Structure 1
Amino acid sequence: MSRLPLWLAQHLAAVRVVAVLTVIVGLLYPLAMTGVSQVVGNRADGQPLYRDGKLVGSALIGQSFTDSNGNAIPKYFQSRPSAAGNGYDPTASGASNLGPENDVDTLADPADPKSGKQSLLTQICARSKAVGDLEGVDGSRPFCTSDGVGAVLGVYRADGLTGNVTRVVSLDQGCPATPFMQSYDGVAVECGKPGEDYSAALIVPIRGDAPRDPVVPADAVTASGSGLDPQISPAYADLRAPRIARERHLPLDRVHALIESHTTGRTLGFLGQPGVNVLELNLALDRES
């Protein structure tokens, strides 16, 4: 009986390995994981949620609760901000990739309001102010102006990095806005002019007198890493509870009880933070109303 050539035997062995691994990794393993997921937590199908027999979303993916004009519906809790596509887009999951030093806006041309670009700091300031205005609480944050943009100065010095201050610009407050500070180091503060180059200025964020621990929680003003987070913090839910109670004509204690019943603790008791599933809570409110 003749033996197969060495090169052919090696190729056949490789084919057998590929076939076995394909069955194990491509078929048996996914089936096993799907089965485990169905038994533990019923998550394999995405945990769809229904109202009156109609699919309204997933318990694993956040969503907006807005009207046809994109305005938040007052009787609903809102998810945290999202940077995934146009918001909560599972096909574009991701963060904004803007870092903590992203604090200078590209000011919009008055003739083209869409030409500007907000910094991460201004996005956070604007969201905090909007939540504060809506809920009737203090929406101020450190390094934010009272009109909801970054409190950032561009400071020019006589010798570049040193020397007397010669000019100061509020970089995130486009003219004709009134600067949040009248003067800095004895020099009057100017409003920012769209299109002007301020790259030679020293960037100086101003903390201001906002409380160290803002009333508006961090998850109300920052997007999650995936952009799909379905939960908000209990603190954020409690902040919005009085408005929800008024809009739905429910006792405030009942709204707080619903929040508590839809709050999950830390994974394994120590991983992550407690969270409130927004869609499940809103569906429970609809049933309650």
Structure 2
Amino acid sequence: MKNMLRPAAVLFVALTVVTGIVYPAVVTAIAQAAFRHQANGSLVERDGKAVGSELIGQPFDAPRYFWGRPSATTPHPYDAGNSGGSNLGPTNPALADAVKSRIAALRAADPANDAPVPVDLVTASGSGLDPGISLAAAAYQASRVARARHMPIAQVEALVAQAASARQLGVLGEPTVNVLKLNLALDRANVR
């Protein structure tokens, strides 16, 4: 028994040092050297202060801002410590009621807009934290934002186009717009 305990203890200590200290230190060093922005949370700064992350949505509800996808996190929207979807299926009456109330809120915020409401403005993502919206969702909101900021619609649309990101690797997913970055660009272009 003694002959078996010593190698087991040595192996335990060696693996603890390798997997608990050496490996994390090497990965952290590589991440900080090669991917500093991502390794530190992909923070977005304004005037030298962090105002959010590129990876986690934020609630915007003023008419002068673009609004993101609804968040499924509770009790606070976009709570990264409580990530998760609503788990409501397409036939669930609670989901249908939530979508109807979200559509009503969008219509109330912009009564002149009779375009179809893009699905990503009324349904939460699987994580409840999506930072981006589709180009259709941005286009749907552009006239409301332009009116609220007293800006030409063409200027708002140009900011949306500048903020749009392409498909990943040119083929994966759809182009999106990071809502936080777009709203910060709007603030820089028009301070009203």
TM-score, normalisation: structure 1: 0.60
CA drift at 1:35:
4.1
CA drift at 1:243:
1.4
Using the aligned pairs only, state the percent identity.
Answer: 47
Change in Cα spacing, 1:125 to 1:43, as seen in structure 2 (3 Å) is: same
SS in 2 for 1:127: helix
Give the structure 1 partner of residue 114 of structure 2.
138
Give the structure 2 partner of residue 164 of structure 1.
none
Higher fraction of helix: 2
Higher fraction of strand: 1
Structural mapping, 1:107-256, within 5 Å: 119-135=94-110, 136-138=112-114, 215-256=116-157
CA drift at 1:100:
1.6
**Residue 77 in structure 1 maps to residue 77 in structure 2:** no
Unaligned runs of 5+ in 2: none
**Residue 61 in structure 1 maps to residue 56 in structure 2:** yes
SS in 2 for 1:42: helix
Change in Cα spacing, 1:49 to 1:101, as seen in structure 2 (3 Å) is: same
Q: Does the CA contact (< 8 Å) of 2:37 and 2:43 recur in 1?
A: no
Give the structure 2 partner of residue 29 of structure 1.
23
Change in Cα spacing, 1:255 to 1:29, as seen in structure 2 (3 Å) is: farther
Give the structure 1 partner of residue 8 of structure 2.
14
Task: Spell out, residue by residue over 1:196-246, the C-alpha distance to the aligned partner (whole angstroms, 9 max, x if none).
Answer: xxxxxxxxxxxxxxxxxxx11111011111111111111101111111112
Amino acid at match of 2:24: P
Change in Cα spacing, 1:216 to 1:35, as seen in structure 2 (3 Å) is: farther
TM-score, normalisation: structure 2: 0.87
What is the rounded CA distance, in whole Å, between the counterparts of 1:102 and 1:275 in structure 2?
28
Indicate the structure (1 or 2) with the bigger Cα radius of gyration: 1
Match of 1:42 among 34, 37, 41: 37
Unaligned runs of 5+ in 1: 1-6, 66-71, 104-118, 140-214
